[in-house]
């Protein structure tokens, strides 16, 4: 048994299906894109830009490209994951309806709560990231538009702190799958 059991598929036959293989491919691609985006974002935030301006700009472009790839893979993985979990995607829009079903295990319910929180944190990160990037991207089209100072600082703060909170939550969400796999053995 591998340390990170990244699926709830119990049956070895189910693991050989095309749907399972597609979900795992999306998960691995998403994990790599997310890791690149996360590391480049923290690098850009914590390493002073005056040390090497060109390296800083390269890391920023890597962060933007990784963020776009992460967004694309997140959307695809989200819908595949919701289908795998037999959940409706629009349930995300009604978090007040998130309650424990009568026959649902406590761990599954807690993991579902974390999944909702993760999805909302990812959405906050993606939306703020896009809004932060718009002025820079518009500059390359020949238009100059700047957000207000406090608006950009607020967006950067939400983007950063949502990322900081996201890391341990996604780690716990994934480790619960390992715990669930260990209980079956």
Which residues, 6 or more positions from 51, have their beta carbon under 8 angstroms from its beta carbon?
A: none
Q: Centre a 10 Å sphere on the Cβ of residue 170 and count the other Cβ atoms it contains.
A: 19
Mean pLDDT over residues 121-126, rounded? 92
As given in the structure block, the two tokens for residue 62 are 């890597």
First-residue to last-residue Cα distance in the chain: 9
pLDDT the model gives residue 19? 72
3-class secondary structure, 85? coil
Last residue of a domain, one of 86, 112, 135: 86
Q: Tokens 């309806």 belong to which residue?
A: 97
Report percent pLDDT > 90 for the chain.
29
Does 148 share its domain with 181? yes
Structural domains of the chain, count: 2
As given in the structure block, the two tokens for residue 101 are 């079903």
pLDDT the model gives residue 33? 93
Residue-range definition of the domain harbouring residue 118: 104-185
pLDDT category of residue 1 using cuts at 50, 70 and 90: very low
Q: Which of 152, 20, 77 is nearest to 5 (CA)?
A: 20
Query: pLDDT of 33-44, one tens digit each?
Result: 999 999 999 998
Q: Are the beta carbons of 108 and 87 closer than 8 angstroms?
A: no
Does 114 share its domain with 181? yes
Query: pLDDT of 141-176, one tens digit each?
Result: 899 888 888 999 999 999 999 999 998 888 887 776
Last residue of a domain, one of 40, 58, 86: 86
Average pLDDT of every residue of the chain: 80
pLDDT the model gives residue 13? 54
pLDDT the model gives residue 23? 76
- pLDDT of 91 strictly over 90: no
- Cβ-count burial 117-128 (b if 16+ within 10 Å, e if not): bbbebbebbbeb
Q: DSSP label at 60?
A: H
Instruction: Judge residue 63's burial from the number of C-beta atoms within 10 Å of its C-beta, 0-12 exposed, 13-18 middle, 19 or more buried.
Output: buried
């Amino acid at each position: 048994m591998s340390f990170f059991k990244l699926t709830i598929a119990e049956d070895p036959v189910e693991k050989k299906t095309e749907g399972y293989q597609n979900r795992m491919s999306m998960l691995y691609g998403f994990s790599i894109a997310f890791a690149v985006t996360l590391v480049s974002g923290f690098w850009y935030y914590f390493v002073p830009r005056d040390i090497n301006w060109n390296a800083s700009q390269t890391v920023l472009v890597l962060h933007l490209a990784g963020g776009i790839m992460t967004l694309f893979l997140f959307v695809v993985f989200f819908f595949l994951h919701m289908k795998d979990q037999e959940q409706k995607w629009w349930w995300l829009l009604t978090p007040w309806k998130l309650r424990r079903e009568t026959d649902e295990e406590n761990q599954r319910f807690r993991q579902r709560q974390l999944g909702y929180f993760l999805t909302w944190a990812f959405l906050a990160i993606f939306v703020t990231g896009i809004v932060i990037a718009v002025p820079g991207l518009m500059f390359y089209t020949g238009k100059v538009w700047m957000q207000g100072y406090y608006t950009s600082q607020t967006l950067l703060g939400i983007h950063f702190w949502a990322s900081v909170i996201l890391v341990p939550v996604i780690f716990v969400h994934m480790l619960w799958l390992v715990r669930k796999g260990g209980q079956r053995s």
